[in-house]
Amino acid sequence: MSAAILPGRTIGIFGSGQLGRMMAIAARRFGYAVHVYSPDRGSPAGQLADVERTAPFDDADAVDAFVAGVDVVTFEFENVPAAPVAAAAAGHSVPVRPSADVLHALQHRGREKRFLADLGVPVAAFEEVDSLVGLQDAVNRLGAPAVVKTSRLGYDGRGQVRLLSAAPHHVAAAWQAIGRVPAIVERFVTFDRELSVVAARGADGAFAEFGAFENRHERHILDLAVAPADVPTATAAEAIRLTRRIATELDVVGVLCVEFFLTGDSELVVNEVAPRPHNSGHLTIDACVTSQFEQHVRAVCGLPLGGTRQLAPAAMANLLGDLWEGGEPDWARLLGWPEVRLHLYGKREARPGRKMGHLTSLGRSAVEAAAVVSAARGVLARRSVQPPAI
């Protein structure tokens, strides 16, 4: 294992959204300098960085210049062209964590599903398609309902269509809706709940996880994350085991998240793998000894991983741009709730469905924490909710 990259050195982050922002906060607490690279100026992470490099991700010269000025490279999202980063890093002897190979495997849904299936990890039955004819044939074989997902660049429900019927006109409409691009088709999984496991793997192979979280979605966007998940101990342990196996086989260095469906038969099915900190893990900032962002900094810099003990049951609620439709939310009233923590991402424009921030609450139980954080968000939506007595 290479020598640790100690505080005082420079971390380079590709991507500059809210995940990069929270990475930067954790890195600065440790005394690291932070450089970020993305096409956007004045971005959430760029607002806090020592250097904000603004250029396209596929600009090889700009990527090379950026990598030359940092001591380690990491990512806040996986849809960065891996080849230019790998080439630049090799030329300047800068470690890339997670590696370009991990990005290559997971930034394409077909490659991701094939990797998981070959590993023997439970996934929904799927096929890869690149034409309308191929899509029709795949749906005929897999059956309906099915889900069609673009192979690349899909998140928060974007690039995704649910097919309730194999009728040709429905299939043609789905193909049109995803932009007529290469995709995968998955047999629809009927599930009771969605879970995630956020974990970290160090440069030395050490593994540390935060347990199983329960996730609730609205409009395909994470609405609420609750920890610990209300599932049997054996179910949580199996989700952690699968996460560790995936991280080990990929040789991940850094934080990753594995999302699961839990079926009515108590079977776990892997939905997606994200090689980075994850929206469901934001509650670790307030609820755990080490946050997922500090853990990521530790891992990519070759430092020992931190403890993951959860201080209390917790819940996180996303704040979407919809809350701004009636004007600026009443932050002062919200902050009258002593058990609630507010995190805003510094985004200048609120749009429906856009993640603008989140709230976290701790409680005596996960149920209580979820009730408090949901009610607190209601203050911003309705301006009429009182803090519950605790």
Over the stretch 173-189, which tens digit does the pLDDT of each residue have? Answer: 999 999 999 999 999 99
Higher pLDDT, 202 or 381: 202
Look up residue 338 and give its two tokens: 């002593």
pLDDT average, residue stretch 58-79: 94
CA proximity to 243, closest of 292, 204, 199: 199
Task: Give the CATH class of 191-382.
Answer: alpha beta
pLDDT of the residue at 387? 52
Q: How far is Cα 255 from Cα 378, in angstroms, rounded to an integer?
A: 32
The total number of residues shown for the chain amounts to 390
Is the pLDDT reported for residue 388 higher than 80? no
- Write out pLDDT tens, residues 298-336: 999 999 999 999 999 999 999 999 999 888 999 999 999
Q: How far is Cα 310 from Cα 113, in angstroms, rounded to an integer?
A: 32
Long-range contacts of 128-133 (CB under 8 A, 24+ apart): 128/182, 128/183, 128/184, 128/185, 129/182, 129/183, 129/184, 129/185, 130/182, 130/183, 132/171, 132/172, 132/175, 132/180
Look up residue 12 and give its two tokens: 């380079």
Q: How far is Cα 343 from Cα 285, in angstroms, rounded to an integer?
A: 10
Look up residue 108 and give its two tokens: 């394409």
CA proximity to 98, closest of 269, 288, 285, 257: 257
CA proximity to 12, closest of 20, 1, 22: 20
Can you name the CATH fold of 10-96?
Rossmann fold (3.40.50)
125-187: in CATH 3.30.1490.20: yes
Identity of the residue numbered 3: A
- Write out pLDDT tens, residues 347-356: 999 999 999 9
Q: How far is Cα 94 from Cα 88, in angstroms, rounded to an integer?
A: 8
Look up residue 288 and give its two tokens: 């755990």
C-alpha angle 158/164/169, rounded to 5°? 90
Q: How far is Cα 126 from Cα 121, in angstroms, rounded to an integer?
A: 13
pLDDT of the residue at 384? 47
pLDDT of the residue at 160? 85
Confidence class for position 365, pLDDT limits 50, 70, 90: very high
Label residue 385 exposed, middle or buried (CB < 10 Å: 0-12, 13-18, 19+).
Answer: middle
The answer to whether 295 and 306 have CB atoms below 8 angstroms apart is yes
Sign of the Cα torsion 370, 271, 318, 244 reads positive
pLDDT average, residue stretch 227-243: 98
The pTM assigned to this predicted structure is 0.93
Is the pLDDT reported for residue 158 higher than 70? no
Which residue ranges make up each domain of the chain?
10-96, 125-187, 191-382
Is the pLDDT reported for residue 385 higher than 50? no
Q: How far is Cα 237 from Cα 211, in angstroms, rounded to an integer?
A: 8
pLDDT average, residue stretch 130-137: 94
In percent, the amount of the chain with pLDDT more than 90 equals 87
Average pLDDT, the chain: 93
Lowest-confidence pick of 29-38, 236-245, 249-258, 325-334:
325-334
